[in-house]
A = this chain, B = another copy of it.
Amino acid sequence: MAVEIERKFLVKADFVPDSDSQIEIIQAYLCADPERTVRVRIGGDNAFLTIKSKPEGISRAEFEYEIPVEDARQMIGLAVWPAIEKVRHLIDFDGKKWEVDVFSGANAGLIIAEIELSNADEVVRLPDWVAEEVSEDRRFHNSCLAQNPYCEWKNDR
């Protein structure tokens, strides 16, 4: 088991992620309730099955296993909601690796930047392209975006 500690930010609308390192991700959820999520992800040529516990603040338990891509493809067909599609850009900033997810499909228009921390109190310098922090806003969890995609949100933001 690992502990995932991450902060999550919206990205300014005029930011165009430009990285050498990018990967297409398709992921879907076999289960996504407040207490636990079971995710199947295909990222490039690899696939993973990932179980996460309920978050406590910005931390949660994570169990991740590599699985055959073909299994993942079939399991995505068992998912509760349609798969999430995004391109993940890895961007180095101030010695940290930022993951910037540019969503497409039903979540097109959404760009989320994530940074993994070694502990919940770690101080990180923020790039000037990040906007509002949404670390504890469940709507921006990928599991919630699968269930209630961005394109269906009302104009309440």
Interface set, chain A 8-65, CB cutoff 8 A to B: 30-31, 35-36, 38, 49, 51, 53, 61, 63, 65
Query: Chain B nearest CB: distance from A27 CB in Å?
Result: 15
Rounded to whole angstroms, the CA-CA distance of A64 and B31 in the bound complex is: 17
- Closest chain B residue to A53, Cβ basis: B78
Q: Is residue A71 within 8 Å, beta carbon to beta carbon, of the partner chain?
A: yes
Residues in chain B near residue A31, CB distance under 8 A: 30-31, 36, 38
Partner of A65, one of B30, B36, B49, B78: B49
Q: A1: CB under 8 A from chain B? A: yes
Taken together, the copies of this chain in the complex come to 2
Q: Which residues of B contact A35 (CB under 8 A)?
A: 78, 80
Q: Which residues of B contact A80 (CB under 8 A)?
A: 35-36
Q: Taking the nearest CB of chain B, how far is it from the CB of A55, in angstroms? A: 13
Residues of B within 8 A of A70 (CB): 1
Contact B65 A65 (CB under 8 A): yes
* Residue from B63, B65, B71, B75 within 8 A of A74 (CB atoms): B63
- Judge if A108 is at the interface, Cβ distance under 8 Å: no
Say how far A132's CB is from chain B's closest CB, in angstroms: 30
Per-residue 0/1 for A71-99: is the Cβ within 8 Å of any B Cβ (1 yes, 0 no)? 10011001010000000000000000000
- Is B36 touching A1 in the complex (CB atoms < 8 A)? no
Across the A-B interface, the 10 shortest Cβ-Cβ residue pairs: A31-B31, A36-B78, A38-B38, A63-B71, A1-B74, A53-B78, A30-B38, A30-B36, A65-B65, A1-B71
